[in-house]
Structures are given as C-alpha cells and as structure tokens.
C-alpha cells in the first residue's frame, strides 16, 4: 500500500475532496488492424455565436449532441463576456440548428460560484437525460437531470470533486464526457495539478452519481516538447468502433493553439496515441482553435461536432462557434 497516498487521502476526506478509487477496465474490444482515419470538415460553422447582449454573444462552444427519436438536441456552452451558461439547440438533421435559449446557469448551489455552469456532456439513460457539467472554483463536475432538455434539476453537490493533496487532479476537474458500456457509466475528464498540467483520467459508476476514479489515472500524458499537445490535454470524446475504443481530445501548445488528436485502447484505460497529423482548423473562423468534440456513430459514419475559434486564448473570447465534420475510417 502507498501509505503516503493513503494518509493524504484520509486527511482530506473530511474536506470531501477524496473520491473512492478502484481498478477497473471497460468491456474488452477485439482489436485488429488499425484503420486510417480522415476527417472532412464543413467549411462554415453550423451554430453561430449570438448577437450583442445574448448569452452566447462572445462564444458558442462545447457542443454535446444527442439523438432522441427523429431529432437531435445540442447542449452547448455560451459565454456573454462575463458568465458561461448552457444553451439548447435542436435540429432535425444535425446540420441546421434552431436555438432555444439558455437552460442552465451558475447557482443556486453554493459550490458552483458565479462563473460557469457549462462545458458539459449529456447522455440518456432509462428515458432521463443526465447532463454532466463543469462549475465552481476550483472547477468540479456537477450533474443535472431532465426529461425534456428544457427543465433541469441539479444535484446539490458535485458528483466528482478535486483529488487529494498532491494528486494529478488536485487543482481542478472538468471537461466531462460520459459513455455507457456493459451496464456501467464511464466518465472521462480533465484533471489539473498544482503545476497547472492538464491531463486526462477516467472514473466508473453504476448510478451516475457515485463515481470511483481509476487508481492508475492519468490515462494520457502530455505530448513531447514541440508537440501539438505539449502544454495540456482536455475535452475527450470517446466511442467504440473498428475493434477499439477511440478518443478524440484537444491538445494545447505553448501559443495556445488548439487541435484535436486521436488515441485508441482495447480496454478503455490503457491508451496509445494514434499516428497521424492532428485535426486542425481549415477556415478563417477556426484557424487558431478546434476543440470540444462530441461524436455520434450513425449508419457506419462517425458524425462530429466541435468548437472553433479565430483567437488563440486559453478559455474564452475565442469568437467561438460550432462546426461539424465526418470522421471516416479506411482499412
């Protein structure tokens, strides 16, 4: 047993900053030859930032897209220059979106503070929408529930708090992305340590509220010096296809340019980087930043929605808008 870790963890338990830990894997994927992935980006954004005075006037980012019946919902993050909110847009085809306004804002839970209630991920389970979002200072992950995507009920406390003293996620957790596999939920998320390194980890739950972190976190380390992801990793999007689990993630370089890399795994916890160029913006509106992926596997095609911006800044003020793409795999 790592006694230093055990003592640190127990000492912080009274402060509610030490979640349970476990060793686990996702259901094993069969493996096989790796396909060759390519991405086709739409030239123009599919969801524009709002007009002056609207909740998404500065940025529209962090899409989380889900198909419900014959329509699509998109819970995305809007920034008005002061505060982040979660907004709702709907579509019949995933390409043409109609905004419905903001549906979540910071508060009234005291842990959220007044800065952010966004940057989230939605999943449907037993007819109920579960939306995991980032809020608070330090950042932690909360949960809101809904049946119609408009009216939401928040948990009073975060469902994933910061890690214990000197851990890899001691100073913040965020960027949630949740998938269901083998009857359990798996939460992929960003963790930040006291050196401000941002890396990726995973947790498991049976009820969506009580989570156990993987003991072996983080599951993906920073890239080498000079790489597109040398400064930070974030915003994972995970799916299973072609014999593996795949993860699109955002990488940051020293100039705050952001591009998306790809990693693969057979068990969802041991990941390898996929050889190939990162996905980068190809138009004026996203030439500095592409980030915040969300994916849906439909009719053998992987549909992708993402955030993009023309200003390389660490958090907001990117002139952020939401784009769409298709990922295709060839033998």
pLDDT tens track, the chain, 331 positions: 333 333 333 333 333 445 599 999 999 999 999 999 999 999 999 999 999 999 999 999 999 999 999 999 999 999 999 999 999 999 999 999 999 999 999 988 789 988 888 999 999 999 999 999 999 999 999 999 999 999 999 999 999 999 999 999 999 999 999 999 999 999 999 999 999 999 999 999 999 999 999 999 999 999 999 999 999 999 999 999 999 999 999 999 999 999 999 999 999 999 999 998 999 999 999 999 999 999 999 988 899 999 999 999 988 999 999 999 999 998 8
Q: Is residue 210 part of a domain?
A: yes
Q: Is residue 299 part of a domain?
A: yes
Q: In the chain, which residue ranges form alpha helices assigned H by DSSP?
A: 3-13
Chain-centre distance for alpha carbon 320: 16
In this structure, what token pair is assigned to residue 172?
């913040």
Q: What is the pLDDT of residue 16?
A: 40
Q: Using the 8-state DSSP alphabet, how is residue 161 labeled?
A: -
Count of domains forming the chain:
1
User: What sign for the dihedral angle of Cα 58, 314, 226, 34?
Assistant: negative
In this structure, what token pair is assigned to residue 129?
């929408």
Q: What is the pLDDT of residue 200?
A: 98
Q: Is residue 25 part of a domain?
A: no
3-state secondary structure at position 13? helix
Q: Is residue 17 part of a domain?
A: no
CATH number at residue 286: 2.115.10.20
Q: Is residue 193 part of a domain?
A: yes
Among 120, 124, 93, smallest CA distance to 299 is for 93
Q: What is the pLDDT of residue 19?
A: 59
- Reported pTM: 0.93
Q: Is residue 11 part of a domain?
A: no
Q: What is the pLDDT of residue 137?
A: 93
- Cβ-in-10-Å burial (0-12, 13-18, 19+) of 233 comes to buried
Name the E strands within 109-194: 117-125, 128-135, 140-146, 153-154, 172-181, 184-192
Among 167, 170, 124, smallest CA distance to 146 is for 124
CA–CA separation, 168 and 10 (whole Å): 17
Q: List Cα–Cα distances, 17 to 96, 112, 160, 164, 208, in angstroms.
A: 42, 15, 9, 6, 18
Q: Is residue 129 part of a domain?
A: yes
Q: Is residue 24 part of a domain?
A: no
Domain span at residue 175 reads 35-330
CA–CA separation, 73 and 280 (whole Å): 25
Spatial CB neighbours of 111, under 8 Å, sequence gap ≥ 6: 135, 136, 140, 142, 157, 158
84 and 115 Cβ atoms separated by less than 8 Å: yes
């Amino acid at each position: 047993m790592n006694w230093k870790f055990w003592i640190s963890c127990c000492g912080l338990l009274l402060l509610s900053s030490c979640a349970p830990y476990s060793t686990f894997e996702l259901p094993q994927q069969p493996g096989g030859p790796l396909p060759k992935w390519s991405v086709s980006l739409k030239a123009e954004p599919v969801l524009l930032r709002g007009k002056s005075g609207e909740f998404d006037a500065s940025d529209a980012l962090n899409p989380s897209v889900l198909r419900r019946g014959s329509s699509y919902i998109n819970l995305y993050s809007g920034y008005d220059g002061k505060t982040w909110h979660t907004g709702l847009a709907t579509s019949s085809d995933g390409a043409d979106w109609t905004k419905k306004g903001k549906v979540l804002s910071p508060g009234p839970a005291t842990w959220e503070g007044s800065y952010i209630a966004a940057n989230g991920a939605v999943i449907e389970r037993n007819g109920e929408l579960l939306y995991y979002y980032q809020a608070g200072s330090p950042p932690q992950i909360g949960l809101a529930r809904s049946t119609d995507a408009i009216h939401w009920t928040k948990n009073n406390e975060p469902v994933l708090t910061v890690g214990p003293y000197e851990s890899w996620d001691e100073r913040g957790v965020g960027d949630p992305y949740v998938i269901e596999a083998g009857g359990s939920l798996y939460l992929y998320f960003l963790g930040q340590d006291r050196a401000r390194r941002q890396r990726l980890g995973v947790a498991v739950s049976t009820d969506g509220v009580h989570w156990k972190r993987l003991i072996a976190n983080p599951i993906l380390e920073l890239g080498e010096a000079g790489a597109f992801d040398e400064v930070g990793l974030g915003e994972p999007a995970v799916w299973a296809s072609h014999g593996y689990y795949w993860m699109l993630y955002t990488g940051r370089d020293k100039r705050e340019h952001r591009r998306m890399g790809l990693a693969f795994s057979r068990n969802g916890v041991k990941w390898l980087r996929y050889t190939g160029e990162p996905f980068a913006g190809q138009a004026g509106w996203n030439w500095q930043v592409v980030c915040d992926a969300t994916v849906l596997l439909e009719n053998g095609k992987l549909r992708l929605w993402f955030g993009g911006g023309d200003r390389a800044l660490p958090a907001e003020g990117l002139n952020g808008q939401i784009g769409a793409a298709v990922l295709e795999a060839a033998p």
